[in-house]
């Protein structure tokens, strides 16, 4: 018989990290731990305060209910927690982990054997111009050929100047530039800003306007001079019919899949299938999970064989992350099987 418990853990940022929603200093997360016949299964419910659709006051009660009813099994628990995508993700991981010979190897592959790396983007956080400039230089020196810059917090002209400084040194063939507005633009000024960004050969922009403005976003996607990627727009869209309707209406060029926020592996696979039916490309991004969740997302990503740079370089952001075989090397995420895990809660 499976025994289930849960634990809360507070991740501390190495440097306060800026987004258009404010400065992040800590990140709360939770773990579901299963035990059966001497084996252990671990799953991270990548809860994101202020962003997750399941950011509710009784979240902990829901985790307790899952643990008390773990005998229901994976499929029934997933169906009962459709409106709690982070819990779905934690349950999926925990059951896969319990079944695996190695609790940290959910999807054995060339990646987990250390023979294949996943290309990733280097993330540049918002902040003062000099701070952002410093991060950009560090990413370039580290060997990243794809940089993602969060914009929308400082003066837009300053952000354009930073991007121009990269383009003066590196063409779009040498460095791919992505930007993430986190909904910082409004529907009146978004198109003009997209034209200014387009002149710099930007690969794509994530969520230029706030989620929920479906017709405005559809209009932007129809007129945009550079590809638009939906991110927050996918959060809280639960049924297959709603997902189909959203993609058919907006017709985005890309969607970005964050398993913690859209229903784990099953939710992500459904979006991938619908995207392919709508001539829409995609990539996967972590949502500031610890190395436990990041590891699960990376291994899952490898199974999908998507060659675009993924958003999986967040493991080094925290001072108290769990040591793991995950390593970032020359713009890729690697798995070093010689390194061991240290997960003690």
Hey, which residues are catalytic here?
A: 150, 258
Give CA angle at 304 (302, 308), nearest 5°. 80
DSSP bridge partners of 254: 229, 281
Q: Using CA atoms, how far apart are residues 203 and 230, in angstroms rounded to an integer?
A: 14
Residue 142 CA to residue 132 CA, distance in Å, equals: 15
Q: Longest Cα pair distance anywhere in the chain, in angstroms?
A: 62
Closest C-alpha to 258, from 22, 44, 7: 44
- Go through the chain and tell me how many residues it has: 345
Select from 165, 150, 2, 159 the least CA-distant residue to 68.
2
Backbone angles phi, psi at 105, to 5 degrees: -115, 90
Distance CA 339, CA 313 (A): 18
In the numeric block, which tokens belong to residue 234?
A: 């996918």
Give the CA count within 13 Å in the CB-facing half-sphere of 237. Answer: 23
| CA of residue 285 relative to chain centroid, distance | 3
Element (H, E) at 260: helix 259-262
Strands (E), 100-197: 118-119, 122-124, 146-150, 176-180
Whether 148 and 256 have beta carbons less than 8 Å apart is answered as no
């Amino acid at each position: 018989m499976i025994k289930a418990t849960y634990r809360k853990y507070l991740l501390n940022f190495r440097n306060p990290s800026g987004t258009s929603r404010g400065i992040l200093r800590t990140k709360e997360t939770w773990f579901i731990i299963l035990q059966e016949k001497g084996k252990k299964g671990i799953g991270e419910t990548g809860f994101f305060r202020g962003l997750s659709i399941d950011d509710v006051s009784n979240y902990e009660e829901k985790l307790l209910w899952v643990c008390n009813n773990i005998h229901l099994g994976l499929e029934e628990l997933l169906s009962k927690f459709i409106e709690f995508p982070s819990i779905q993700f934690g349950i999926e991981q925990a059951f896969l982990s319990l079944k695996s010979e190695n609790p940290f190897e959910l999807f054995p592959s060339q990646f987990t054997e250390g023979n294949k790396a996943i290309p990733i983007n280097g993330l540049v956080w918002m902040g003062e111009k000099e701070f952002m400039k410093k991060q950009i230089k560090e990413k370039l020196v580290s060997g990243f050929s794809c940089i993602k810059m969060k914009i929308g917090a400082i003066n837009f002209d300053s952000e354009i100047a930073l991007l121009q400084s990269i383009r003066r040194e590196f063409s779009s063939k040498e460095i791919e530039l992505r930007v993430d507005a986190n909904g910082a633009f409004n529907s009146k000024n978004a198109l003009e800003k997209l034209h200014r960004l387009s002149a710099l050969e930007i690969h794509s922009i994530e969520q230029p306007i706030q989620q929920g403005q479906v017709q405005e976003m559809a209009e932007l996607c129809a007129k945009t001079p550079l590809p638009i990627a939906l991110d927050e727009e996918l959060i809280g869209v639960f049924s297959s019919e709603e997902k189909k309707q959203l993609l058919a209406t907006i017709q985005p060029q890309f969607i970005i899949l964050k398993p913690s926020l859209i229903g784990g592996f099953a939710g992500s696979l459904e979006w991938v299938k619908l995207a392919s039916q709508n001539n829409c490309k995609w990539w996967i991004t972590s949502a500031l999970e610890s190395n436990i969740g990041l590891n699960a997302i990376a291994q899952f990503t490898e199974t999908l064989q998507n060659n675009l740079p993924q958003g999986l370089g967040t493991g080094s952001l925290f001072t108290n992350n769990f040591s793991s075989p995950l390593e970032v090397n020359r713009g890729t995420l690697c798995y070093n099987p010689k390194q061991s895990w240290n997960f003690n809660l």
